[in-house]
């Protein structure tokens, strides 16, 4: 499959269809209740399949290394990008963006998984665990960065019990970890019974979900006008640089080809589900049109259309 053929995959076409619907001012819209079910299903299916893979593999250094590096990346990325973002944005908005880009996009990860499966490239189920582990650390770092820029009594109003609850009990994190554990302990009879649900239905459900994300991403582009050119450049350069560093780290630490692609995609993506849900209550003064708009309106389409095939091509060349 060449990069142009990738653009003709159903998942990508449905995403582009959503953008086209906004462009022609169509009334196409997926009900919010349906989207909640789709989102929960995709996370459940991804987590369960990852748990099943973990159940059948040996716990070795090759398994633990990606998990440790994923957590380290989730802590480091916000600390690295915050000083850069602070040049343009106020403290709270820079911290919110740092948390957004330190965390991950589960949908980008799912699309990368589909891409690898289309290429027949194997990857470890433990990479789903890496996805789950990277969701929360960046939120904590982002809130610490926001607090460091506050003064006096204003800094004291941050409830860390509430923050921890949002990070650990967030529905995205909870269902991903819960389904991962279910797949890890499920007997063969249970795995076989769920195989059509978590396997055969997954590509179609992903297409339907990406259709809505195409609509939302196209609408969010207008929110970025106030952020200016700096934000747009950051939204494109971040996945290129962060993903590139991740590829080098994966190469030096002996990742498999498929695992390296997924690790690069995780480091290059930004959260627009888990982080906004947590920041909405923990950091209400941050402007969601900036951190959601940039992650969903710029970085997500870039990764979907160019980032994933670019990462795969680079890794294929390096790995041979």
Q: Is residue 230 part of a domain?
A: yes
CA of 74: how far to CAs of 81, 137, 278, 316, in Å? 12, 6, 16, 25
Which H or E element spans position 152?
helix 152-156
Q: In the structure encoding, which two tokens stand for residue 202, read together?
A: 């997954």
The pLDDT of residue 152 is above 60: no
CA of 11: how far to CAs of 5, 37, 54, 99, 133, in Å? 12, 18, 27, 27, 26
At residue 45, the pLDDT reads: 85
Q: In the structure encoding, which two tokens stand for residue 286, read together?
A: 């941050």
Q: Is residue 16 part of a domain?
A: no
Q: What is the mean pLDDT of residues 244-259?
A: 94
Q: What is the mean pLDDT of residues 173-181?
A: 80
The pLDDT of residue 157 is above 90: no
Q: How far apart are CA 307 and CA 258, in angstroms?
A: 15
Q: Is residue 114 part of a domain?
A: yes
Concatenating the DSSP letter of every residue in 134-170 gives TTTHHHHHHHHHHHHT--HHHHHT--HHHHHHHHHH-
Domain count, the chain: 1
Q: How confident is the model at residue 60 (pLDDT cuts 50, 70, 90)?
A: confident
Q: How far apart are CA 167 and CA 279, in angstroms?
A: 10
Q: Is residue 170 part of a domain?
A: yes
Q: Is residue 251 part of a domain?
A: yes
Q: How far apart are CA 183 and CA 51, in angstroms?
A: 4
Place of tokens 């142009």: 4
Residues sharing a CB contact under 8 Å with residue 147, sequence separation 6 or more, in sequence order: 155, 158
Q: Is residue 163 part of a domain?
A: yes
Q: Is residue 112 part of a domain?
A: yes
Q: How far apart are CA 213 and CA 110, in angstroms?
A: 14
This prediction has a pTM of 0.79
- pLDDT per residue over 64-79, tens digit each? 888 899 989 999 999 9
- pLDDT per residue over 182-241, tens digit each? 988 999 999 899 988 888 888 888 888 888 878 887 887 776 776 678 888 999 999 999
Domain extent, residue 144, equals 30-148+158-319
- Residue 271 sits in a domain whose CATH number is 1.20.1530.20
Place of tokens 């194997």: 122
At residue 211, the pLDDT reads: 87
Q: In the structure encoding, which two tokens stand for residue 131, read together?
A: 């996805």
Q: Is residue 311 part of a domain?
A: yes
- pLDDT per residue over 91-150, tens digit each? 888 999 999 999 888 889 988 998 898 888 998 878 888 887 887 788 888 888 887 765
Q: Is 8 helix (H, G, I), strand (E, B) or coil?
A: coil
């Amino acid at each position: 499959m060449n990069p142009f053929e990738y653009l003709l995959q159903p998942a990508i076409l449905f995403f582009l269809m959503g953008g086209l619907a906004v462009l022609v001012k169509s009334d196409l819209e997926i009900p919010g209740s349906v989207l909640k079910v789709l989102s929960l299903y995709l996370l459940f299916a991804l987590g369960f399949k990852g748990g099943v893979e973990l159940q059948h593999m040996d716990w070795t250094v090759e398994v633990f290394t990606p998990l440790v590096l994923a957590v380290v990346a989730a802590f480091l990325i916000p600390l690295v990008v915050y000083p850069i973002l602070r040049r343009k944005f106020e403290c709270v908005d820079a911290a919110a963006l740092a948390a957004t880009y330190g965390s991950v996009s589960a949908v980008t990860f799912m699309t990368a998984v589909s891409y690898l499966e289309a290429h027949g490239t194997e990857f470890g189920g433990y990479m789903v665990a890496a996805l789950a582990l990277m969701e929360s650390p960046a939120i904590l770092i982002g809130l610490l960065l926001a607090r460091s820029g506050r003064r006096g009594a204003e800094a004291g109003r941050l409830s860390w019990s509430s923050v921890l609850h949002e990070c650990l009990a967030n529905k995205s994190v909870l269902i991903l970890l819960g389904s991962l554990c279910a797949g890890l302990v499920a007997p063969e009879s249970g795995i076989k019974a769920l195989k059509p649900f978590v396997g055969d239905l997954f590509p179609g459900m992903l297409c339907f979900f990406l259709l809505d994300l195409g609509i939302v991403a196209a609408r969010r582009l207008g929110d970025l006008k106030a952020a200016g050119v700096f934000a747009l450049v950051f939204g494109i350069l971040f996945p290129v640089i962060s993903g590139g560093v991740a590829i080098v780290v994966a190469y030096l630490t002996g990742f498999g080809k498929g695992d390296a692609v997924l690790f690069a995609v995780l480091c290059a993506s930004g959260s627009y589900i888990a982080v906004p849900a947590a920041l909405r209550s923990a950091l209400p003064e941050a402007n969601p049109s900036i951190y959601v708009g940039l992650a969903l309106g710029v970085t997500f389409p870039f990764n979907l259309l160019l980032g994933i095939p670019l990462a795969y091509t680079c890794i294929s060349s390096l790995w041979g």
